Structure 1
């Protein structure tokens, strides 16, 4: 049973988070008098802080470095959280926290917005936690071949194993390997200021549109390379928007697959809040 009305986004750092603005717009549109704030929480203090919440709390949004800790603490995980080992949404119930990863479907919905509804070949730059969600998202969107480029190919080992479980062929050349093959879309999960030099131009020439999942410092060096190649480059706001909408579904109805009442109006209000940020 869910009775609480308080929600927050937690992370370290957290001051940059746009989640309070997005969620406030959604609940205002739904006519819900819910409170959504933000709190800086270190990974070491995550569990005792969660356990100290009272019945006024309904749920939490989690950003780095708390997603793996949240997955370990949840009493249940949805399929995307289980596959990635990461939770960005905790629904607090009497039976314990239920964990969801809305980043996966949020990215897939953003790809549809960008005209990449069913990519067959995908390139992912980076091999961290966000890359894991990107791989699951790409596989769910129909990708059959995924190239993961990382500075250390061994870092992509878990992603190759995950690809086998998902029935997707995953290759892992080094980040600056020459002669890249054409792909339908490139998803960058590297730190926003990463400059790959000449290899960025080579990647852009055959990389399809770029989704660089960062929110600040735009355009990034990667985005600039894509623009030089005459290709589209998108920042992380589309993914942020859609994963937040799915979080609202979880907090309101308990299920990221259950649409909201007047969802089109809610999404429009959230999109306007994001544009105005």
Structure 2
């Protein structure tokens, strides 16, 4: 059986995220540890930390944290960059307090001043945050969809960042299927998946993938469009996901769906679709 889950809300209290994941039938879940749309946040109370950890122990569900929306580790704007590094550091600390093993981060946008400068800032930001935090959490670099000025849409971009880091023992990769497909990597056929994973292995190493963001896409291959769709209902399609879920690399890793909730399908429906396609 594949290990699959969804991104869940932390509304009312962080520990409620575990309840929501359990109610949805998750084996793994992702959340934001704080309001993802602002810079400020409340510190974790001892009571919330203990409740969260207790519910994780009771359910056995694997938790994953995701960086908020505002940080941009590649930003040339000094204020945004400094806030982004501080946020990354604090999120690593929060993962440590909550016992969350993985923190997923986007690599940001260089805003037009060039890939080399953006990549250098990402490297410096990650080195600074890891040095400032004693958290045991692993930071996972997420591939992006190839949108304008984005850092991390190609495996070469991610390799360049890994090569520049001072220490990679606390670094892994979160592989997003929607983003990879939108960036031009083929995932609809067995041959395409083998070619994509072969390129990844050559550039980065398959052993570095720790989490899969399993998302279909509203944009065609190479579109650069970061728009997620229900599993099997987008351009990757049911046959594509059947091939993905029968590939031993993908099927052996925790799968997190960041899919819509609408009149067509909810979180339970996407979890069920993944399990059905996995056979």
Q: What is the TM-score when the length of structure 1 is the normalising length?
A: 0.32
Greater strand fraction, Structure 1 or Structure 2? 1
Relative to the length of structure 2, the TM-score reads: 0.32
